[in-house]
């Protein structure tokens, strides 16, 4: 079982060599030790930045950033992060590229590999990111797809570690839609040996194959993963409670249906009373106050959503530094 206290993480050259030049499409491709290393690196880089130390470790490197979906946190954190590391971020709207006019991903991947040192892509379909990685000789980083959001999960774990210390053995409750954010969060938490309870309405459950994988990972690291349709059961004695919007980008036509299906899954004062007194609340943002979470919770003393958003910068700097 991996040592979860990050001060004990082996930061030797072997892990650095393992990560160099790798893609980050999903945390399923990373071992517990590699994820712990990235989190350890993020903590060090955050402390250095707060002390005014930002060595340009990626001078002359260029990161291409392709967006098929709108973005606030992903775009800004990657742009700022790459700049702070001494490199150059290049924003590319997918509609403005030839890929938006039908150029094959095969051609696009090979061409971008001639110009860039890495690509971060925020795509509608996970298959697009997989295909781009297949036909590129440079690292491809998943900035969000319909199936995974690995960089968000790293920031989530970093925040929990900062607030709770070692997260091994802690209970994380995810309440809401079994979506891309949930998939990456649970896989990441399973690698850290956490006990994860996922509560979703009937018909909106976690992907079955990914759920089985997460259970296997958690067991190997001394943790556990369970699923329920009862939010109270999930939140009982939780150290951390996490939710996301009920209607994500591209699901707008389902909004009315989802509002009805999720109405008992709101994070509010009554529900969090079942958690530990010092529970922490997390949300990947953007948030809809009085929908998936009440203002009393997201703006309350147990909320760490802005620290969590800020940690996107530091987690992604660790990824960029390690892969590029």
Residues 324 and 319: their CA atoms lie apart, in Å, by 8
Residue 140, classed as helix, strand or coil, is: strand
Catalytic residue among 244, 266, 314, 316: 244
CB 272 within 8 A of CB 241: yes
- Binding region for L-ornithine: 180, 244, 248-249
Catalytic residue among 40, 122, 183, 195: 122
Residues 171 and 197: their CA atoms lie apart, in Å, by 8
Q: What is the CA radius of gyration of the chain?
A: 19
For 288, phi then psi, to 5°, come to: -115, 95
Clarify whether 122 is annotated catalytic. yes
Clarify whether 212 is annotated catalytic. no
Catalytic residue among 284, 308, 314, 316: 284
Catalytic residue among 40, 84, 146, 152: 152
CB 153 within 8 A of CB 216: no
Contacts of 95 (CB under 8 A, 6+ apart): none
- Binding region for carbamoyl phosphate: 71-74, 98, 122, 149-152, 284-285, 312
Q: What is the DSSP string of 66-97?
A: EESS--SHHHHHHHHHHHHTT-EEEEEEGGGS
Residue 277 burial (10 A CB sphere; 0-12, 13-18, 19+): exposed
Residues 294 and 282: their CA atoms lie apart, in Å, by 13
- Binding region: 71-74, 98, 122, 149-152, 180, 244, 248-249, 284-285, 312
Residue 224 burial (10 A CB sphere; 0-12, 13-18, 19+): middle
Q: What is the DSSP string of 1-35?
A: ----SGGG----HHHHHHHTT--BS-GGGS-HHHH
Instruction: Using alpha carbons, select from 241, 283, 292 the residue that is nearest to residue 265.
Output: 292
Catalytic residue among 40, 258, 312, 314: 312
Catalytic residue among 149, 195, 258, 283: 149
Clarify whether 244 is annotated catalytic. yes
Query: Which residues are known to be catalytic?
Result: 122, 149, 152, 244, 284, 312
């Amino acid at each position: 079982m991996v040592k979860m206290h990050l001060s004990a993480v082996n930061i030797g050259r072997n892990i650095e060599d393992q990560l160099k030049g790798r893609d980050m499409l999903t945390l399923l491709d990373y071992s517990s030790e590699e994820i712990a290393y990235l989190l350890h690196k993020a903590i060090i880089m955050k402390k250095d930045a707060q002390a005014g130390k930002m060595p340009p470790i990626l001078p002359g490197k260029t990161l291409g950033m392709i967006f098929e979906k709108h973005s606030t946190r992903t775009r800004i954190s990657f742009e700022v992060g790459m700049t702070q590391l001494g490199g150059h971020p290049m924003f590319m709207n997918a509609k403005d590229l030839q890929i938006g006019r039908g150029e094959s991903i095969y051609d696009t991947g090979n061409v971008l590999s001639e110009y860039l040192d890495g690509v971060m892509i925020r795509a509608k379909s996970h298959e697009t990111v997989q295909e781009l990685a297949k036909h590129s000789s440079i690292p491809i980083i998943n900035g969000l797809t319909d199936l995974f959001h690995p960089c968000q999960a790293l920031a989530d774990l970093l925040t929990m570690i900062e607030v709770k210390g070692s997260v091994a053995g802690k209970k994380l409750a995810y309440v809401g839609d079994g979506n891309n954010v949930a998939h990456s969060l649970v896989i990441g938490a399973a690698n850290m040996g956490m006990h994860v309870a996922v509560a979703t309405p009937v018909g909106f459950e976690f992907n079955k194959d990914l759920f089985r994988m997460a259970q296997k990972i958690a067991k190997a690291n001394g943790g556990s993963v369970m699923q329920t349709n009862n939010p109270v059961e999930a939140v009982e004695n939780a150290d951390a409670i996490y939710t996301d919007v009920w209607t994500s980008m591209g699901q707008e036509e389902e909004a009315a249906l989802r509002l009805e299906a999720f109405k008992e899954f709101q994070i509010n004062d009554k529900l969090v009373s079942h958690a530990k007194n010092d529970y922490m609340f997390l949300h990947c943002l953007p948030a809809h106050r009085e929908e998936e979470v009440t203002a009393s919770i997201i703006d309350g003393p147990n909320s760490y959503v802005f620290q969590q958003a800020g940690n996107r910068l530091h987690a992604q700097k660790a990824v960029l530094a390690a892969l590029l």
